[in-house]
Amino acid sequence: MSTGIKNGKHRAFNISKVILFFLFIAIPIISSSASGIKNEKNRVIVIDAGHGGKDPGALGSISREKDINLAIALKTGKYIQQNIKNVTVIYTRKDDSTVELRDRPKIANKANADLFISIHTNSTNSKKVMGAETWIMGIAKDQANLEVAMNENAVMLREDDYSTKYEGFDPKSSESYIMFSLTQKVFQEQSTDLASKIQTQFSKRVNRNDRDVKQAGFWVLYNTKMPSVLVETGFITNPSEEKYLNSKEGQDYLASSISLACKEYLNEIDSKSGISLINDQDHDQNQKSDTISKLNPDAGEIFFMVQISSSISKIEIKSGNFKGLKDVTEINMKNSFKYAAGNFKDFSAAVNYRKKIEAFYPDAFVIAVKDNKILPLQQALEQKKKTQKD
Ligand SMILES: [Zn+2]
């Protein structure tokens, strides 16, 4: 009798397991294949127009920072949606409303965003200073950098009960900034990468004075759980730059620059994990599959290599062309050739090999290959785990 009850319980448990499987695993798979999306990650980008409502931000002679920020933020979101596939844009404000400083990163965390971009306009005592700079979270290396963060953080002084809400943080005291030393460390490399792409777009495409990537303790970047940057698009205190920041053309150029930097950043991440390669193939039925020359005799088996370079023209495979490496393979892609070194059944062996050649190829990264195709690393590792268990 007791066994009967046990069995009944056991069956009920199994049925609920099956239902759970369909709710959480099968349905997302069905819906994603129905819409034709495979391996394509849906990205969320949060765009934060600095200041707003009762807080005007910096003041120029013909305009207020909050209005410039909002205009550029909305345009940036529009360009991102036009230029990047599978992206959702979330704004911290879409009009002239007041949003507390501490709520802005919370919006990004709640949305589980991939990127957080805060848009601001700079100001200083000198009318001569002009140019754009992009900030990441970190410890300010000098007083001038600290002051930019102090100015942006001072917004919280306008909020009621700010000292309780901001954990006793005093935006005007340099001692307070020590608390920022450890936050965002995990995302520092990615944030720097995005920030430098934004600066390159600003200077190369739009001809803005490049004031470089900098770091300081901004509350708005504090505790965000994703790569985050704060863009100072230009100086409202410089008369000609203020005009530019208020012009439709200037705003469009700055916004499209930020969107292109995001696109480039996300594309690089995709190609590192192999996602975009697989997608290209899905979109183009006529395209020949990406074949790897003379390799992988074991059909259906996953192995790992270290991609060292990619080129639009073919490079002859000889060690002299690859800094002395003798185990280089060519991967023939749609419009380019990728070159990868080593060939391992074990992921960690490939990781170790990458470390070994890091001095010669600092940008090298591990890729996964199965049946002569590059596949997303995450997927490969999961499959590998499964087959090892069986
Ligand atoms: Zn600002």
Both 62 and 159 in one domain: the answer is: yes
Q: How confident is the model at residue 25 (pLDDT cuts 50, 70, 90)?
A: very low
Eight-class DSSP state of 328: E
- Contacts of 202-208 with C-beta under 8 Å, sequence gap 24+, read 202/132, 202/254, 202/257, 203/132, 205/253, 205/257, 205/260, 206/253, 206/254, 206/257, 208/131, 208/132, 208/234, 208/254
Task: Tell which wins on pLDDT, 108 or 320.
Answer: 108
Return d(Cα 117, Cα 296) in angstroms, integer.
Answer: 43
Residue 268 neighbours by CB distance under 10 Å: 13
Both 289 and 357 in one domain: the answer is: yes
Residue 151 alpha carbon to ligand 1 centre in Å: 7
Residue 250 alpha carbon to ligand 1 centre in Å: 18
pLDDT at 227: 94
pLDDT at 358: 79
DSSP-based three-state secondary structure for 159:
coil
Residue 154 alpha carbon to ligand 1 centre in Å: 10
Return the axis-axis angle of helices 347-357 and 377-389, rounded to nearest 10°. Answer: 140
Q: How confident is the model at residue 334 (pLDDT cuts 50, 70, 90)?
A: low
* pLDDT at residue 5 greater than cutoff 90: no
Tell me how many degrees the CA angle 77-82-88 measures, rounded to the nearest 5.
55
Average pLDDT on 186-214 reads 92
Domain boundary among 214, 242, 271: 271
2 within domain boundaries: no
Residue 93 alpha carbon to ligand 1 centre in Å: 14
Tokens of 210: 């490049």
Residue 190 alpha carbon to ligand 1 centre in Å: 23
The listed range with the strongest mean pLDDT (121-125, 203-207, 218-222, 307-311) is: 121-125
Both 248 and 352 in one domain: the answer is: no
Give per-residue pLDDT as tens, 219-250. Answer: 999 889 999 999 999 999 999 999 999 999 99
Residue 191 alpha carbon to ligand 1 centre in Å: 19
Average pLDDT on 259-271 reads 90
Tell me how many degrees the CA angle 30-35-39 measures, rounded to the nearest 5.
75
Q: What average pLDDT does the structure give for the chain?
A: 81
Residue 263 alpha carbon to ligand 1 centre in Å: 25
Average pLDDT on 42-48 reads 96
Bridging pattern class, strands 328-332 and 337-344: antiparallel
Give per-residue pLDDT as tens, 275-303. Answer: 433 333 333 333 333 344 444 456 778 88
Both 67 and 137 in one domain: the answer is: yes
Both 144 and 244 in one domain: the answer is: yes
Both 158 and 221 in one domain: the answer is: yes
Give per-residue pLDDT as tens, 341-375. Answer: 998 888 888 888 888 887 777 778 888 888 767 88
Domain boundary among 204, 237, 271: 271
Residue 86 alpha carbon to ligand 1 centre in Å: 30
Domain boundary among 224, 240, 271: 271
210 within domain boundaries: yes
Residue 216 alpha carbon to ligand 1 centre in Å: 14
150 within domain boundaries: yes
Tokens of 294: 């003379």
Average pLDDT on 115-139 reads 95
Q: Can you give the residue range of the structural domain that contains 319?
A: 285-389
CA distances from 351 to 186, 326, 378 (A): 20, 18, 14
* pLDDT at residue 58 greater than cutoff 50: yes
pLDDT at 84: 93
- Contacts of 288-292 with C-beta under 8 Å, sequence gap 24+, read 289/372, 289/373, 290/331, 290/332, 290/333, 290/334, 290/372, 290/373, 290/374, 291/331, 291/332, 291/372, 292/329, 292/330, 292/331, 292/332, 292/369, 292/372
Residue 85 alpha carbon to ligand 1 centre in Å: 30
195 within domain boundaries: yes
Residue 58 alpha carbon to ligand 1 centre in Å: 6
State the pTM of this model.
Answer: 0.63
35 within domain boundaries: no
Residue 265 alpha carbon to ligand 1 centre in Å: 24
27 within domain boundaries: no
Return d(Cα 23, Cα 96) in angstroms, integer.
Answer: 41
Q: How confident is the model at residue 65 (pLDDT cuts 50, 70, 90)?
A: very high
pLDDT at 361: 79
pLDDT at 333: 73
Both 218 and 69 in one domain: the answer is: yes
Give per-residue pLDDT as tens, 169-194. Answer: 889 998 888 877 766 677 888 899 99
Residue 285 alpha carbon to ligand 1 centre in Å: 48
Question: What percent of the chain is modeled with pLDDT above 90?
Answer: 46
Both 299 and 244 in one domain: the answer is: no
14 within domain boundaries: no
Question: What percent of the chain is modeled with pLDDT above 70?
Answer: 80
Both 355 and 223 in one domain: the answer is: no
Residue 299 alpha carbon to ligand 1 centre in Å: 57
Bridging pattern class, strands 365-370 and 291-292: unpaired
103 within domain boundaries: yes
Residue 101 alpha carbon to ligand 1 centre in Å: 11
Residue 97 alpha carbon to ligand 1 centre in Å: 15
Both 204 and 311 in one domain: the answer is: no
Residue 200 alpha carbon to ligand 1 centre in Å: 21
Return d(Cα 86, Cα 82) in angstroms, integer.
Answer: 10
Both 93 and 150 in one domain: the answer is: yes
CA distances from 138 to 70, 117, 181 (A): 25, 16, 6
Both 195 and 227 in one domain: the answer is: yes
CA distances from 140 to 54, 117, 146, 148, 269 (A): 28, 19, 5, 10, 28
Tell me the backbone φ, ψ of residue 374, rounded to 5 degrees.
Answer: -80, 135
* pLDDT at residue 376 greater than cutoff 60: yes
Cα dihedral: 326, 327, 331, 336 (round 10): -30
Contacts of 276 (CB under 8 A, 6+ apart): 267, 270
The neighbouring-strand residues paired with 365 are 307
> Number of structural domains, the chain?
2
32-36, 248-252, 305-309, 380-384: least confidently modelled range: 32-36
Residue 57 alpha carbon to ligand 1 centre in Å: 5
Residue 52 alpha carbon to ligand 1 centre in Å: 10
